[in-house]
Chain A
Amino acid sequence: MPRRRLARLILRSGSLLVAVLALWPALPWEESPRFAIGASPLVAVSAGIATRSLGLAAGLGVFFTLICCLRRRWFCRYVCPTGLLLDGVANMGPGWTRFWAAWPDIGRSLALLTLAGALVGYPLFLWLDPLALLAGPFAAPGSSGFLSGLLAGLLMGILITLTFLFGTAWCTRLCPLGGFQDLIGGIAQNIPTPARPHARRRFLTAVTTAVGGVALALWGRRAGIARVEAAPLRPPGAITEDRFTGVCIRCGNCANACPPRIIHPDRGGAGIPGLLAPSLRFVNGAYCQPDCAICTQVCPSGALQPLSLPQKRRYIIGEALVDTNYCLTTLGIKDCDACVVTCPFEAVQLHWDEEMYVSYPVVEVMKCNGCGACEAACPTLEVKAISIWPLLPGPGMDKGLIPSARFLPELS
């Protein structure tokens, strides 16, 4: 049916073009990267379940989900820009397909694990969503360091390399979005049970997988809780650290959107579950601008909850802590008050300690939102005398549950 194939090609090419423009971002609409990835049915549904909320950006994804219920792998065939790209790559490669031809449908298991994990707030393999993978490299050119850029494009790079060598293994066997469509397609088409062999075995496998997914997700959340003390600093609007590493799909939208380029893929500070998740680093004088909330507005999964500008101004990213053992003023090395003069909120003052006969910076907690201006300005070389740290659970709070949103009191 050449006419239908032509229509498919035009649709998929169009969606690839739109996705590239949205993720670049080359569209004048600055929230477009969020909608580009939110169009994925897997992201929309899993993130919606995990965060118990459906944002506006998930609308398209939910719509596509409904179509996929009626038409088998409709998204793959008509929309998926990653699929089109990989088809092209596969055609160029040697096409060593024989060894994986007998593989089971791993993608379906991944989708099931992810959905089961989402029920307990930790959608396990959502970061393997093809749209999230496609977005990764877009954060690479603007990233501040070579390594950060490399990490941003890492997953998509691996995917392209594998597809070049081994053909369409990803789309047909591994992709969790594909597996998700198979799952829901199966439900809606209501294929009579007797028509399919080994129905009981399939059912038991699915239940086992789902239970495994819940267990793995709970482990992921526990790993997050255990690392709260050493957790990296997350961008504004981040949900609790135990869920963050699961809900974040590593798409790099936040890093790509950040004007001062302070969002970097984490290199393992939060353990395996936190690999490549966004963390803040205040280098080269860059800090979180008070008049910007764009990272929270481009996150498609809700790992960063959208904040309005007034909300963002009062949102506490972290707390500024002082280590007097490194302060140039305390040590008498320099007459420095860089943190004091740089703080946009006038929250840092030098305190004269009559007892110790030294000065050191003191941060007024009720004024500080942890923007990092002080850390960026502190002239010490390796260890900053003043630096931003994630909030720790306060007294009376569940162990490890960092409150996802603590705000400064309303400024008069």
Chain B
Amino acid sequence: MAVKMTRRDLIRSLSASGLVTAGSLLPIADLLAQDLKPAVRGPQPPAPRAPLAPARLQVNKVIQPEREIAVLRETDVLVVGGGPAGTAAALAARRLGVDVTLVERYGHLGGLATGGLVLAIFPLYDRDDKQVIRGIGEEMMQRLDQLKFGIVDRGQAPLYPVVDAEAFKYVLADMTLASGMHIYLNCWGVDAIIDDRNAVKGAVFESKSGRQAVLAKIVVDASGDGDIYAAAGASFVKVKDNIGLVSRIGNIHEVDMIGDDAEHQAGATGAPVRKRPTQGAPVTTLDGKVGSHTPVEGVNWLNMKGPVADGLDVDDLTALELKHRIALWKNIEQVRKKPGDESAFLLETAPQMGVRLTRLLDGITSLTSEMTEKQKTHDDVIGYSGTYANNPEFQIPYGALVPARTENLLAAGRCIATDFKVADTTRLIPVCWVTGQAAGIAAALCARDGSQPRNVAIERLQEELRKQGVHLG
């Protein structure tokens, strides 16, 4: 059966991402809610196959014949996307005792926080350096605290913590499996399932097992790109933003030029001379970028902003991914020319490109920059974003997670209902934890009561959020 392959994929990818080695002290078999079926090595006996229905070329058009899609699972809450928002949503929903299914496109959990090597956990604090983002995100960081090389610069506002991607993958695998949710990795959400009234009833996935469906009472779209709400016909705004590719450099001995180094802060070398730059200054001394420190000694992470491109266009994405990798290799060659860094090497380029923003939902509330700059308070507050640049911390309303019209659906993560300016903050990892956790709890409440996301009793939602440690002001 298809399920068997998926489970094998799961285990394989988990071991690849370091679970087996890092967690060798733990009795792994006890942790797994989903277990491997016994198998024999070599040729397998014939198994029943689904009827074939390949696409057909008819008069220069490719036609997909109508066909039935096998239902992989029926669940209470389906979370599409296993990044910061999706994992927080799935964990939060599971804590209310409902059946949760989490589906992830890559072979690991954590999304851009791990696979995208966006290792900076920012923004967490308000202007008084008080941590305003807690809840499940804080629990994840507390788990990382206990690991060697897991996380640095914790609780040192305004410095922000930096995590190790592999440690974070391990923590997420451990937390999700222990929660008893169902997880499908290497599964790409390709379509929404809707009923006659255009209400969402689940989603369709493509994987090595072919095309399969998961039926759900409530779907949380944590895909980042709003793939499911777009497929379900919800209205949204398409946006373009910079797309880069983060990398990690090993054997690097150079300290950060700026940034967080204590040595630099102490001004050990004396205050540098403030020199007048020329207007439109050319980039002169940029021979080899080394990025900034990670929890692992000798390993730096190097961010890249990248050009503005369409994160929903496979041509753009392919061109950029190839160009970025070539540029990163040339950069490491430059880095190695610096004395002391001759043995630096390109440890890895991120498995996932840094797509920042693609779709922004039309929600029942759209969070605008006027609201955030004036720190508007919302009756349906579900959490805070931390302060960023001169922008203050601000409340996030539940209405920004709920599509204006489409039923049974919630959005979480970077694709929620905000304007482009606010999205520059709400797309960041800690804020994705906040919107994810709220979407998960709301979805669980709806699934339990058979109600609609737009009709959720806000007091109950906020009560559950507080119980789960979320800061609501």
Q: Is the CB of B257 within 8 A of A338?
A: no
- State whether the Cβ of A373 lies closer than 8 Å to any Cβ in chain B: yes
Chain A stretch 254-272: residues in CB contact (< 8 A) with chain B: none
Q: Which residues of B contact A365 (CB under 8 A)?
A: 279
* Residues of A close to B256: CB separation below 8 A: 333
Q: Which B residues are CB-close (under 8 A) to A30?
A: none
- Nearest chain A CB to B327 CB, angstrom units: 4
* Interface residue from A338, A358, A387 paired with B305 (Cβ < 8 Å): A358
Using known A-B contacts A229-B276, A325-B284, A354-B307, determine if residue A332 contacts B258 with beta carbons closer than 8 Å. Answer: no
A-side contacts of B291, CB under 8 Å: 331-333
Given contacts A322-B281, A326-B258, A331-B258, contact A341 B424 (CB under 8 A): yes
Q: Report A-chain residues with C-beta under 8 Å of the C-beta of B276.
A: 229, 321, 389
Interface size of B as a range: 35 or more
Q: How far is the CA of A404 from the CA of B383 in the complex (A)?
A: 49
Contact between A352 and B391, CB atoms less than 8 A apart: no
Given A323-B281, A341-B389, A381-B264; A333-B307 close (CB under 8 Å): no
Of B91-99, B214-222, B265-273, B342-350, the segment with at least 4 beta carbons within 8 Å of chain A is B265-273
Do residues A359 and B285 form an inter-chain contact, with CB atoms below 8 A? no
Q: Return chain A residues, CB-CB under 8 Å to B267.
A: 382
**Total A residues in contact with B, Cβ cutoff 8 Å:** 43
Asked if A14 is an interface residue, CB under 8 A from chain B, the answer is: no
Residue contact B242 to A352, C-beta cutoff 8 Å: yes
Across-interface contacts of A352 in B (CB, < 8 A): 242, 305-308
Which A residues, 330 to 385, have Cβ-Cβ distances below 8 Å to chain B?
Answer: 330-335, 337-339, 341-342, 350, 352-354, 356-360, 362, 365, 373, 376-377, 379-383
A325 B285 Cβ-Cβ under 8 A: yes
Q: How far is the CB of A329 from chain B (nearest CB, A)?
A: 6
| A-B contacts at CB below 8 angstroms, number | 121
* The one of A341, A357, A381 that contacts B258, using a Cβ cutoff of 8 Å: A381
Q: A359 to nearest B CB, angstroms?
A: 4
Min C-beta distance of B389 to chain A, whole Å: 4
Q: Is B421 engaged at the interface, CB distance under 8 Å to the other chain? A: yes
Are B388 and A341 closer than 8 Å at their CB atoms? yes
**B283, A333: Cβ atoms closer than 8 Å:** no
Partner of B257, one of A285, A319, A331: A331
> For residue B324, which residue of chain A has the nearest CB?
A357
What is the chain A residue whose CB lies nearest that of B356? Answer: A335
Q: Is the CB of A225 closer than 8 A to any CB of chain B?
A: no
Give Cα A342–Cα B282 distance, bound, in whole angstroms.
23
Would you give 26 A-B contacts (Cβ < 8 Å), ordered by A? A321-B276, A321-B279, A323-B281, A329-B303, A330-B286, A331-B258, A331-B286, A332-B292, A333-B257, A333-B258, A334-B122, A334-B259, A335-B303, A341-B388, A341-B424, A352-B307, A353-B283, A356-B283, A357-B331, A358-B289, A359-B242, A359-B305, A359-B306, A382-B271, A383-B272, A383-B274
Q: Beyond A331-B286, A341-B389, A362-B280: 4 further Cβ-contacts under 8 Å? A: A323-B281, A332-B302, A358-B289, A365-B279
Please give the residue numbers on chain B whose beta carbons come within 8 Å of chain A beta carbons, in ascending order.
118, 120, 122, 242, 256-259, 264-265, 267, 271-272, 274-286, 289-292, 302-308, 327, 330-331, 388-391, 421, 424
